[in-house]
Amino acid sequence: MLDTRVKIQPLGDLLAELNGAAWTLAAGRFPALTAEHAAALGEASGREGLLVAQVAADAWGGPYPLDESSRAQLVAAVAGVDRVVICDHPAAERLRELGRPSAIVDIEALVERDIVADVLARHSDSQA
């Protein structure tokens, strides 16, 4: 069985591996991995080269129900995802500039339901 944590790389290591290669960037917050996220990642994996999933760092766009490491591990477990990198905003910009992906897929734009917001709304409704 593959330990999906080996797919998760620091930005510098990932950039060295991608040097000149064709690859696709799938960027998202991944607050909770849903079937919609997995489907969007599956579609993105059909593009050219490696599929690199960029998971938002805890400090970028949170709070999240799971820490960045746990969210990265969930994303790494999706078939078709070749590498995962955790990025704050400056690191994400660096990844796009230096890595020069062949394509960028905004996973959040493809996912219609914010499951975390739904759970929080239901929880606050039940407290009233």
Tens digit of each residue's pLDDT (9 = 90 or more) over 15-33: 999 998 999 999 999 988 8
CATH architecture of 4-127: 3-Layer(aba) Sandwich (3.40)
Q: How confident is the model at residue 62, as a pLDDT?
A: 76
As a whole number, mean pLDDT of residues 69-80 equals: 95
pLDDT for 119 beyond 70 = no
Cβ-proximal residues to 75 (8 Å cutoff; 6+ apart), any chain: 28, 30, 33, 37, 41, 53, 55, 81, 84
Which pLDDT score, from 0 to 100, does residue 5 have?
Answer: 78
Tens-digit pLDDT profile for residues 39-72 = 999 999 988 899 999 999 998 877 888 999 999 9
Q: Which residues contact 123 (CB under 8 A, 6 or more apart)?
A: none
59: its two tokens: 């400090």
Would you kindly state where each structural domain of the chain is located, as residue ranges? 4-127
Residue 52: what pLDDT?
A: 97
**Global pTM exceeds 0.75:** yes
- Residue 93: is its pLDDT beyond 60? yes
Q: From its phi and psi, is residue 20 left (phi > 0), alpha (psi between -120 and 50) or beta?
A: left
